[in-house]
Structure 1
Amino acid sequence: MSVVYILTVYKEISVTEGDSVTLNINLTEISENDILWECETETALIAHINRAAGHFSTFDVLDGRFRDRLKLDNQTRSLTITNIRTKHAGDYKLKITGGKLSSKAFRVSVYARLLVPVISSNSSKCSSSSSQQNCSLVCSVFNVGHVTLSWFKGNSLLSSISVSDLSISLSLPLEVEYQNQNSYCCVLNNPISKQTQHLDITQLCHTCSDSVHCCGSTEAVIRLVLSALVGVAAVVLLVYDIRSRRAEQDRAQIHSSGGSFPP
């Protein structure tokens, strides 16, 4: 019995975690042949079709990664992997026994589902010679892999950073002027999907003329207390000055009255 490996063409398939992927190959015209699906990454048999006996079987590898995830189509002999994960990425192929057939093998890439990036204010600095304010921002994502994080102004790319490892956190800074009316956004993308977060400057950046935003609550309380103390001290000094002048006037009048007697 001869064995023919179908490795003529690799069909590239990219999917997102949680989706289902079908390794679609129409073998309805083949008869009396066994069809074997193998995961090359694990060098393991994962499905077997015995057409003569009408048996369709799926198997799991030792670590259980394919458990309850494999489905065979009785008509086309296609294999579907449901609720796919990054651990299922790799090469899949067919073995056809008892005949010769040109077909396709599959290379499956699985990407994590992307979250929307988060934009936060890193710091705010005001120029002493101008009312303009520069706002320092940072765009962040957590536990990602095989992605690119980018800042855009309109349709123009300002900066970007990429990572190929898994489970890494990324941060990308941006410096803008508060008065800037341009449209900014932070984009997280991989080869098959993207997530975008638009920047609202008015919420994250504040002018220095606004004491509520420029001064922290503690500093504002301290300034209020100092102002009150200065006011109280001024009132005390004023009252003391008035009383001192009145006392001096009274002493002058008494002295004047005591120094002259009637004839």
Structure 2
Amino acid sequence: MLHLVVSFCLCCWCLTDGFGEIVSVLEGDSLLLHASNIHQDDDLVWKFGAEKSLIAEMSGAAGIFFIYDDVLDGRFRNRLKLDKVTGSLTITNIRTEDAGDYELKISGAILRDTTFRVSVYARLPVPALIRDCSSSSSLSSPSNCSVLCSVVNVSAVSLSWYKGNSVLSSINVSDLSISLSLPLEVEYQDKNTYSCVINNTISNQTTHLDINTLCQTCPAKAETLPVLYQSLVLWQIVLISVVAGFLLIVTVIGIVCICNKGKTIRTKKKNTKHSALCKPKKRKTKSKTQAVYENVPKKR
């Protein structure tokens, strides 16, 4: 009999003590964490996160209630509500940074611990459908229509194309916030129902494909030349023109320099000849002896 009583007590502890609930909620909603089986004289505390920060407490016997919404740099400021009868905790306008473990400790006739593991999901955007005229299949086959389903800044989601209720293709993303695109090829005359769906654990958004509206005829191939390529060609033309103009200017300057150099050389030669003509001639100086005998008659 004693063995049965001990076993019953252990089973009750396992059910009431330990991990409690997994809760998922959308960003911006209000979250209610229930404190069940509270007695009038019980004391309880609410803690949050790995550091177990105290965010609320209640003493039923003393009739004291406290909310500590200024902890963690005021993360919960003006967003916590404590029910003074049940001890349940409400978090309003919940945010993604509010995700984590919320621990409830109840002290009374029985000590009880319960942990709520809360996941907060961002609200999903509506998928956008875009006609992809740059697709090779759209250009090669006029009867085909290429469509892109796109979403931006999403995490922990799945993006899928459906044909009726059957999944045609799907792509998943983890916790990274990125943009996703998923292509689909259909024919203009296709009468099936197609839809693009983005979903996470607790919500989804759907956009239906209207082939007659979206799948209009793509422009001719020549008209689909990318703007970037056109700009590149234009810049090449401008660059070639600039280089040609620069070379022309250098050539003209070189010719002018050569002409000026030749003119300078001819001017120097002319100046040298003129100097030689204008230079005074040196008179031959006679010696004194020659001067003395110059007037003496020579003997015959």
Q: Same fold (TM over 0.5)?
A: yes
The DSSP-based 3-state class of the residue aligned with 1:87 is helix
- In structure 2, the partner of 1:49 is 58
Report how many residues are paired.
Answer: 207
Q: Report deviation, 1:99.
A: 4.5
CA distance in 1, matches of 2:113, 2:40: 12
Question: Structure 2 residue aligned with 1:133, among 116, 120, 143?
Answer: 143
Return 20-29 or 153-162, whichever deviates more: 20-29
Corresponding letter in the other structure for 2:212: T
Q: Report deviation, 1:27.
A: 4.0
Corresponding letter in the other structure for 1:202: N
Change (3 A) 1:42 1:175: farther
- Residues 38-77 of structure 1 show CA distances to partners (whole Å, capped at 9, x for unaligned) of 0133420010112232111111322221111110011110
- In structure 2, the partner of 1:167 is 177
The DSSP-based 3-state class of the residue aligned with 2:74 is coil
List alignment gaps of at least 5 residues for structure 1. 208-212, 220-263
Corresponding letter in the other structure for 1:142: V
In the TM superposition, 1:87-236 aligns within 5 A as 87-97=97-107, 99-102=109-112, 104-123=114-133, 125-127=138-140, 133-207=143-217, 214-215=219-220
- In structure 1, the partner of 2:35 is 25
Change (3 A) 1:138 1:177: same
CA distance in 1, matches of 2:112, 2:64: 23
CA distance in 1, matches of 2:96, 2:50: 13
- Residues 150-185 of structure 1 show CA distances to partners (whole Å, capped at 9, x for unaligned) of 000111101111112242111111111112111100
- In structure 2, the partner of 1:9 is 19
Q: Rg: which structure is higher?
A: 2
Change (3 A) 1:50 1:102: closer
Corresponding letter in the other structure for 2:175: D
CA distance in 1, matches of 2:214, 2:51: 49
- Residues 198-217 of structure 1 show CA distances to partners (whole Å, capped at 9, x for unaligned) of 0011122124xxxxx53499
Alignment of 1:80 onto 2:90: yes
Question: RCO higher in 1 or 2 (8 Å CA, sep ≥ 6)?
Answer: 1
CA distance in 2, matches of 1:121, 1:7: 56
Change (3 A) 1:126 1:181: farther
> Is the 8 Å Cα contact of residues 206 and 214 (structure 1) preserved in structure 2?
no
CA distance in 2, matches of 1:41, 1:140: 37
- In structure 1, the partner of 2:46 is 37
> Is the 8 Å Cα contact of residues 184 and 199 (structure 1) preserved in structure 2?
yes
- In structure 1, the partner of 2:238 is none
Higher helix share: 2
Identity in percent: 57
- In structure 1, the partner of 2:243 is none
CA distance in 1, matches of 2:172, 2:149: 13
Q: Report deviation, 1:8.
A: 2.0
CA RMSD across the alignment = 2.5
Higher strand share: 1
CA distance in 2, matches of 1:10, 1:170: 35
- In structure 2, the partner of 1:58 is 67
CA distance in 2, matches of 1:143, 1:127: 33
Change (3 A) 1:80 1:214: same
The DSSP-based 3-state class of the residue aligned with 2:72 is coil
Q: TM-score, normalised by structure 2?
A: 0.63
CA distance in 1, matches of 2:87, 2:154: 35
